Structures are given as structure tokens and as C-alpha cells.
Amino acid sequence: MTLGSSFNYGDFSMNRANFANLGGIRKATRRGNFGGRFAHRQRGMTTLGIIVLVSFLGLFAFAAMRLTPIYLNYLKVAGVVNGVYDEYDSQNPTRSELLISIRRRFGVESVDEIKFKDVKITAVDGGYEIVAKYDHTSPFIYNVYFTVKFDKRVVVRR
């Protein structure tokens, strides 16, 4: 094949004129000017895209606002159970001392989702296991609810 000739390969044909145009396309894409007259219409997001994005972000923000108080209440319950553990671990406590401490701490921390009677204290080998296990259901949108399950356990050694 000589430089002045052309060749045909299936639907692709190439000659000197087409080869020169191909070089022009390469230069245009390097400069970021490919597309010519429609380039100004291809910038940014559309209004519909922004509305969809804001809707999703708003939905997640609303979910976070509904779940935050639930987790803050759980942190209170976990703080009570850990406080009883810190106070009575290796102090040879009785079951009634643990119950009194839990009731007092629930009052101080204003825990309202679970009652101190719902906290189970069982004798295990070498101490007592304190279990605060509960579910919290909160409405989200219309008939959609969030149900969060919590299970906090500690073993207070004698």
C-alpha cells in the first residue's frame, strides 16, 4: 500500500482526506472542544437530578432524626448496666443490691423505654449476669416502622 492509495476493510474505509480529519478529531478532543455546538448544554446537573438527589438526602436525614433518640436511649441503658458492673464487680454483691442500684440509676438517667424490672439478673458461675434486652419500634413514614433490637449483657463477678 502506498501513501496515496486507499484501502477498504469492511465498513471502514480510509484515504488521505479521512486520515487528515481523524487527526483533527484527536486535536479537538485534547483541547476539550469535541461536540462543537452542543458543548454548552452538557454542563452540571439537571433540575430533575437535583430534585432526586435532595429527596434521597432528605429521606436519609429524616431516618437519622427518627433513629437518633432511640440510640441515645440505648446509650443510657448501657451506661446504667456498665455503671453497675463498675460499682459491684468483685465486691461480692447480692441480687437485691444489684436491683436497687439499677432502679436508682434508671431514675437518675431518666431511662423510659425499658423499666428496671425488665432487666434480668441471673446467677451464673462466679457471679451474676445482668441482661438488658429489649426492642424499640418507631414509626418512620406512613405504615413503615423501624424496629431496633438491643441486647446489653455484663457479668458481675463475686
pLDDT tens digits in sequence order for the chain, 158 residues long: 555 555 555 555 555 555 555 555 555 555 555 555 555 556 788 999 999 999 999 999 999 999 999 999 999 999 999 999 999 999 999 999 999 999 999 999 999 889 988 999 999 998 999 999 999 999 999 999 999 999 999 999 98
Domain count, the chain: 2
Residue 35 grid coordinates = 461536540
User: Would 66 be classed as within a structural domain?
Assistant: yes
List the Cα angle 106/74/107 in 5-degree steps. Answer: 10
Q: How far apart are CA 97 and CA 88, in angstroms?
A: 9
**Do 75 and 142 fall into the same domain?**
yes
Q: Which domain holds residue 74?
A: 59-157
**Do 63 and 138 fall into the same domain?**
yes
Q: How many CB atoms lie within 10 A of CB 102?
A: 22
List the Cα angle 104/114/86 in 5-degree steps. Answer: 45
**Do 108 and 147 fall into the same domain?**
yes
Three-class SS state of 121: strand
**Do 17 and 65 fall into the same domain?**
no
With 0-12 CB in 10 A as exposed, 13-18 as middle and 19+ as buried, what is 121?
A: middle
**Do 64 and 100 fall into the same domain?**
yes
**Do 63 and 105 fall into the same domain?**
yes
**Do 96 and 69 fall into the same domain?**
yes
User: Would 53 be classed as within a structural domain?
Assistant: no
Three-class SS state of 75: helix
